[in-house]
């Protein structure tokens, strides 16, 4: 092992054409030589001395934003390499690898598309970054050594996703990810991370989803949160926030607060994921008992349930809707869709909440999606029937700050508007421009039956008088946050 300015490192850098800093090597033994080493140690390891009390975020800021034209996923801007190059990447807790388009054989076009008119997209070139290094097959993070011709060949990777015929493949590289500390004493940090040089993309990555890269946030060693923790940059935790207005934020090293709700992860040692257990759902006046495990996935637009949970949930919702159900439409992936009343204030939507293992309550603020179809409005229960996997998607995370505590192996959540300086209730009301009082009583209030205990498991619905009572929401309250053109696109990045 050699230190940063040792002669072997210097010779390697010169032979590879990689000078860091560019052409500026301090003289061994000089004051500058030791100052540089000390400064580098402070940046890389000094955060241990401060007990990682200041979370890290991207150098361009911690803001994220939901982009409807790119799959309704949350995106942020990251800066890679030296000199820094910016990428607009989708944030995905359902996968592990961070990749960007690179040395492209088959990548999404960066010009001449609808999204390229709105966003400036980049292509990474390892030869243009002085801090870039291609990983060899003997690296511990190389998972496809069986495809290597020799241990010193470049390490290949391939990741396939659940979305139809969607994949990325290329080689693994190491380079600088530009970060900064949060708080008043802001400090910029250059973290060396491993990511995918995505040479060939297929499926959704070629047009309408993550055309400029996908930022995997999973539990495997190759994910950026894992690398930041193992290298001593942050605590083993991160948080994401999903605002009602589509804005959000992300912070690495954030362990949440003492008053957050929590539930444990269900850990599979062979392939760890952010999998949680849901023990009960409330849909309006109905309680549904089940033992349902689901992936908590920011890289999936909507929520997916397998039967019998899907049918129990959907039929309970349908039984409490007074509007006319629409016939099936092949353009819409949702089965339970309704014509919105001419006066949207009369379209009452049952409240929805989930009870997680341990008793934590997750109220779902956006259980429906509103679709504009010519001169009419349609709303749908934003849950999709799944063949084999339950997924709590991004739409069920709206209105919360979510903490993925990988050290304690718990998921935490707390109601939030994603703006630190404002109260969440105030922002929620203002963002919907609502001057009307909420409905004091929803249809059916008082017509409850005393719940009977169901110990037989499964997904058996039952009526309930337990709090909270059935306060319906007007469909008009949800239009501002979920109305989009008559095209629905779903993305699952696992």
The catalytic residues are 92, 297
Distance of CA 135 to the CA centre of its chain: 27
Residues in the chain: 494
Triad 256, 418, 398: Cα angle to 5°: 90
Rounded distance, CA 238 to CA 107, Å?
30
Q: Are strands 410-415 and 261-264 parallel, antiparallel or unpaired?
A: antiparallel
Contacts of 412 (CB under 8 A, 6+ apart): 256, 257, 260, 261, 262, 402, 403, 405
Rounded distance, CA 48 to CA 186, Å?
16
Using only C-alpha atoms, the chain has a radius of gyration, in whole angstroms, of 25
Closest CA to 232 of 172, 189, 185: 189
3-class SS letters over the chain? CCCCCCHHHHHHHHHHCCCCCCCCCCCCCCHHHHHHHHHHHHHHHHHHHCCCCCCEEECCCCEEEEEHHHCCEEEEEEEECCCCEEEEEEEECCCCCEEEEEEEEECCCCCCCHHHHHCCCCCECHHHCCCCEECECCCCCCCCHHHCCCCCCECEEEEEECCCCEEEEEEEEEEEEEEEECCCCCCEEEEEEEEEEEEEEEHHHHCCCCCCCEEECCCCCCCHHHHHHHCCCCCCEEEEEECCCCEEEEEECCCCCCCCEEEECCCCCCCCCCEEEEEEEEECCEEEEEEEEEEECCCECCEEECCCHHHHHHHHHHCCCCCCECCCCCCCCCCCEEECCCCHHHCEECCEEEEECCCCEEEECCCEEEEEECCEEEEEECEEECCCCCEECHHHCCCEEEEEECCCCEEEEEECCCCCCCCHHHHHHHHCCCCCCCCCCCCCCCCCCCCCCCCCCCCEEEECCCCCCCCCEECHHHHHHHCECCCCCCCECC
Between the two ends of the chain, the Cα-to-Cα distance in Å is 36
Q: Are strands 383-385 and 303-305 parallel, antiparallel or unpaired?
A: parallel
Residue 423 token pair: 């109260």
Q: Are 64 and 75 in contact (CB under 8 A)?
A: yes
């Amino acid at each position: 092992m050699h230190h940063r300015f040792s002669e072997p490192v210097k010779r390697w850098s010169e032979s590879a054409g990689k000078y860091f800093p560019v052409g500026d090597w301090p003289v061994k033994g000089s004051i500058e030589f030791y100052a540089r080493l000390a400064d580098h140690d402070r940046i890389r390891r000094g955060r241990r001395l401060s007990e990682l009390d200041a979370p890290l975020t991207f150098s361009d800021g911690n803001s994220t934003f939901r982009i409807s034209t790119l799959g309704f996923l949350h995106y942020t801007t990251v800066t890679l390499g030296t000199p820094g190059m910016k990428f607009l990447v989708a944030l995905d807790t359902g996968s592990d690898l961070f990749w960007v388009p690179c040395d492209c054989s088959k990548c999404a076009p960066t010009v001449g598309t609808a999204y390229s008119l709105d966003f400036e997209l980049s292509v990474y070139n390892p030869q243009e970054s002085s801090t870039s290094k291609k990983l060899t097959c003997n690296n511990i993070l190389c998972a496809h050594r069986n495809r290597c011709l020799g241990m010193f060949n470049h390490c290949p990777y391939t990741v396939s996703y659940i979305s139809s015929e969607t994949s990325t493949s290329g080689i693994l590289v190491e380079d600088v990810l530009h970060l900064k500390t949060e708080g008043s004493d802001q400090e910029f940090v250059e973290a060396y991370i491993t990511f995918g040089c995505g040479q060939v993309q297929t499926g959704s990555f070629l047009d309408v989803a993550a055309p400029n890269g996908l930022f995997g946030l999973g539990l495997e060693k190759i994910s950026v949160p894992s690398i930041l923790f193992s290298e001593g940059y942050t605590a083993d935790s991160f948080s994401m926030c999903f605002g009602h207005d589509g804005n959000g934020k992300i912070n690495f090293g954030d362990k949440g607060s003492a008053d957050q709700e929590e539930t444990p992860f269900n850990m599979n040692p062979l392939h760890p994921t952010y999998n949680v257990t849901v023990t009960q759902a409330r849909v309006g006046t109905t309680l549904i008992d089940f033992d349902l495990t689901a992936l908590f996935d920011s890289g999936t637009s909507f929520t997916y349930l397998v039967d019998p949970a899907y049918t129990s949930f959907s039929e309970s919702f349908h039984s409490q809707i007074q509007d006319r159900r629409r016939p099936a439409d092949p353009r819409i992936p949702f089965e339970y869709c309704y014509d919105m009343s001419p006066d949207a204030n009369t379209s009452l939507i049952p409240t929805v909440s989930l009870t997680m293992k341990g008793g934590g309550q997750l109220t779902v603020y956006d259980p429906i999606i509103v679709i504009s179809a010519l001169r009419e409005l349609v709303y749908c229960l934003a849950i999709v029937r799944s063949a084999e996997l339950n997924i709590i998607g991004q739409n069920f995370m709206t209105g919360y700050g979510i903490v993925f505590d990988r050290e304690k192996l718990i998921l935490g959540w707390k109601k939030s508007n994603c703006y630190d300086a404002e109260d969440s209730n105030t922002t929620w009301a203002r963002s919907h421009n609502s001057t009307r009082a909420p409905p004091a009583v929803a249809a059916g209030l008082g017509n409850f039956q005393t719940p009977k205990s169901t110990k037989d498991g499964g997904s058996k619905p039952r009526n309930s008088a337990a709090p909270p009572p059935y306060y319906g929401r007007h469909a008009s309250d949800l239009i501002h946050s979920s109305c989009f053109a008559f095209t629905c696109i779903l993305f699952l990045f696992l």
